[in-house]
Structure 1
Amino acid sequence: MSDNWLPHAEYVATLPKATLYACFFVTDESERPIQLRAAWDPEVWQWPGGNMDPGETPWDCAVREGLEETGLYFAESPRLLGVHFLTEREDWPALKVGLVFDGGRLTEIQIRGITLDPDEHSEVAVRSVEEWQREMSEGAFRRLAAVAEARRTGVACYLQQTDPV
């Protein structure tokens, strides 16, 4: 061991800080992505998910948030579709890393059964990838398109985003 090494606690204090979120990418049976309109900003569409709580794994976070935000349990086991890395921004002064899991294909009955938390989301929408492009910011759409392609091909994607979401 080198004499220059810091004790673990001191070393960890020098590392960049990041938050982690986990979510589910879900579609209807025709492969049209399902998204939720954010209650805090009607221009923002999101997948069921959220920030990880202390002591929680990313998978547990996605499952918890999916249940809280829709009333549905999306998947039995993790299938990672993508990793989303965001640099620090004015509105979020830390790095942010997201894990996007496959939440499967929902039937029309399941979609109609979604129960939204009105403090978080105001609407559920199902649209084709092309239709979503007209509804979303460029950065948010790039994420949706990349994850949809990852689901189609079975190859997980990595997205690095330095522009506003």
Structure 2
Amino acid sequence: MSREWLPPEQYIETIARSTSYACLYFTDTRGRPVQLKATYSADIWQWPGGNMDPGETPWECALRECREETGIVFDGPQRLLGAAFGLPRKDWPVNHSGFIFDGGELTDEEIAGIVLDPDEHTELRVHTLAEWEPIMGPAKFERLRRVHDARRTGNAVYLER
């Protein structure tokens, strides 16, 4: 029995749709995670990053978003700390896949020089993991902890929501 192949534009209608994002995970020189408070929610802390533009790779996205959101022009190595996947939910109608890259350590001077995009973030904080835990919800903190461990161990993490 022969198979009839669909043209790409028809085949695409039969498979899951997805958006993709990328971000950079930074710590200070003492190993404390650096996070930004999102403007769209009072309790969302995140890393510099965002959704990929058409024709953009995850790495290019992470660099662009970091520059736009913090003013940091990152030129370090491409080191993947983790990948994330989320199924559609009430507030997001398609799959959402992400790439978390290692941004390395920032000096106190580099952190002081960060200029936040006020349309994206209202605040920057640097805390130990123990200090972050009560600030963040359990699921978001677990993500932070696992990415932090991936940096420490050198073993990339897969996160699923």
For 1:85, the aligned partner's letter is F
Q: What SS does the aligned partner of 1:93 have? A: coil
State whether structure 2 residue 145 is matched by structure 1 residue 150: no
> Any runs of at least 4 consecutive aligned residues in structure 1 with deviations exceeding 6 A, and if so which?
none
For 2:99, the aligned partner's letter is L
The residue that corresponds to 1:109 in the other structure is: 109
Q: Taking structure 1 as reference, are residues 4 and 148 closer, same or farther at Cα in structure 2, changes over 3 Å only?
A: same
Query: How far apart are the structure 1 equivalents of 2:102 and 2:149?
Result: 12
Give 1:104 deviation, angstroms.
0.5
What is the number of equivalent residue pairs in this alignment? 161
The residue that corresponds to 2:118 in the other structure is: 118
Give 1:89 deviation, angstroms.
0.8
> Where in structure 2 are there 5+ consecutive unaligned residues?
none
State whether structure 2 residue 98 is matched by structure 1 residue 98: yes
Query: How far apart are the structure 1 equivalents of 2:8 and 2:57?
Result: 22
Give 1:9 deviation, angstroms.
2.1
Query: How far apart are the structure 1 equivalents of 2:14 and 2:77?
Result: 35
Q: How much identity, in percent, do the aligned residues show? A: 52
Q: Is the 8 A contact 2:80 2:102 kept in 1?
A: yes
User: How high is the TM-score relative to the length of structure 1?
Assistant: 0.94
Give 1:75 deviation, angstroms.
3.6
> Where in structure 1 are there 5+ consecutive unaligned residues?
none
The residue that corresponds to 2:24 in the other structure is: 24
Give 1:92 deviation, angstroms.
0.6
CA RMSD of aligned residues (A): 1.3
Q: Is the 8 A contact 1:21 1:52 kept in 2?
A: yes
User: How high is the TM-score relative to the length of structure 2?
Assistant: 0.96
Residues 131-162 of structure 1: CA deviation (Å, up to 9, x unaligned): 1111111111111011000000000000111x
